[in-house]
Amino acid sequence: MKKKVLLFLCTVLSHTLISAQSLPISWYRQFSGTIDKYPIVLHLHKAGDTYSGFYYYEKTQRPFRLAGTGSDTSVLPGQLNVAREQIRLSAYIPGNESTDETLVLTITGTTLAGTWRKDEQSKELAITATETRRDSLSFDMIYVEGSLDLKPSLENSPSASYEASTIWPHEQSPVGVYLRKLVNQLFGHKNSSEDIGKFLLKQKKDFMDGYRKENQDVADSEVVSFPSSYSLQEDQNVLILYRSMGLLTLASTNYSYTGGAHGNYGTAYFSIDLGSRKEIKLADVITAAGKKPLAGLIEKFFRRDFKLSASQPLSEAGLFGDKIEPTENFFLTGKGIGFGYQPYEIGPYAMGEIVVFIPFTELVGLLNPAFRKFVQ
């Protein structure tokens, strides 16, 4: 099997026109539109042939995670700077592991159209949307990828793969510099606003060099007998979950496989006050008195998602215990707060990540006065 080392580093403004000679391999774009008659917002990110992001209904602003692939990317005949991308996405719905929503989309220039379906039995609803920018802050999407076969001469050689993608502020404004430093920090490059691309390239190289060095003396027979023990994968992606004029929420997703039955993964959330250029902590959102009923509210909305009655213990849904404590791993939108729990944190690996969203209407009187400016 021939050695494969692929490297992509692309910075493309989301609003830049596309040339026939160079379709973008990565981008971040925000769309506003409707599913049927219901207003929605989509935050989409492209990295190679994969697409990811979040969408939410404007009425609730509860985000649902999107992931999928593109089936076709082309330039429209006779329109050299207009591309068409066809995408199929699944949306993860908490409490509904068996069936995900499906979105089949076609992006043409700055417009998006397609269908949404709750499940295979439900009716398709139309999606239409237009690319939007709510403020002057714009983002590139940086993408670095590479893979390396351990034993190229073997037919089914184990390999190492590395992938990293992240939004990257285009402006060198104070907010842009702050966000650049934050993104660098999320990838372990502290106290720097240097272009993240160079650092990700170095990380990829170090990852591959370490894999090669660690396994340089392994015999072919050992690899054939235990191939999964010699496979390695590292992925990290920083995505936009929500943005408004004063608030930006990022999701940093991680996946790591070092051999064995399965890899480990999780999402860390960061909500930023763009005005003060500070990360928002839970104490900034909820008053000291408000934290007391918070666990009860998290339980209430967990029960709603997983269809548990008030009398059923939480363990019947699969949790390790019968109480869910608030966590500092939370995200904010203009209409609610979500708490994220990674696999094994409060439930088994099979439950996946658990996300509980509480509307701000349930937190009346519990929010800090200074935070209320973000509530829509």
Percent of the chain with pLDDT strictly greater than 90? 76
Regarding predicted confidence, which is higher, 191 or 371?
371
Question: Rounded to whole angstroms, how far apart are CA atoms 239 and 251?
Answer: 5
What are the backbone dihedrals phi and psi of residue 211, each rounded to the nearest 5 degrees, phi first? -65, -45
Percent of the chain with pLDDT strictly greater than 70? 89
pLDDT tens for each residue of 109-120: 899 999 999 988
Do residue 56 and residue 167 come from a single domain? yes
What are the backbone dihedrals phi and psi of residue 116, each rounded to the nearest 5 degrees, phi first? -125, 140
Question: Rounded to whole angstroms, how far apart are CA atoms 363 and 293?
Answer: 9
Question: Rounded to whole angstroms, how far apart are CA atoms 243 and 224?
Answer: 49
Domain boundary among 207, 224, 241: 224
Do residue 36 and residue 142 come from a single domain? yes
pLDDT tens for each residue of 195-205: 999 999 999 99
Q: Which two tokens stand for residue 119?
A: 């499940």
251 found inside a domain: no
Domain boundary among 189, 207, 224: 224
Q: What is the mean pLDDT of the chain?
A: 89
Question: Rounded to whole angstroms, how far apart are CA atoms 313 and 13?
Answer: 49
271 found inside a domain: no
Range of the domain at 308: 282-374
166 found inside a domain: yes
Regarding predicted confidence, which is higher, 177 or 98?
177
pLDDT tens for each residue of 62-108: 999 999 998 666 666 666 566 789 999 999 888 766 668 999 999 99
Residue 270 pairs in a beta bridge with 250
Euclidean distance between the first and the last CA atom of the chain, given in angstroms as a whole number: 55
Task: Quote the number of domains for the chain.
Answer: 2
pLDDT tens for each residue of 276-305: 999 999 999 999 999 999 999 999 999 999
Strand 38-47 with 139-149, pairing: unpaired
Residue 323 has pLDDT above 60, yes or no: yes
233 found inside a domain: no
Q: State residue 231's pLDDT score.
A: 93
Judge contact between 243 and 271, C-beta under 8 A.
no
Do residue 1 and residue 147 come from a single domain? yes
276 found inside a domain: no
Reported as a pLDDT band with limits 50, 70 and 90, residue 13 is very low
**Prediction pTM value:** 0.90
312 found inside a domain: yes
Domain boundary among 189, 224, 259: 224
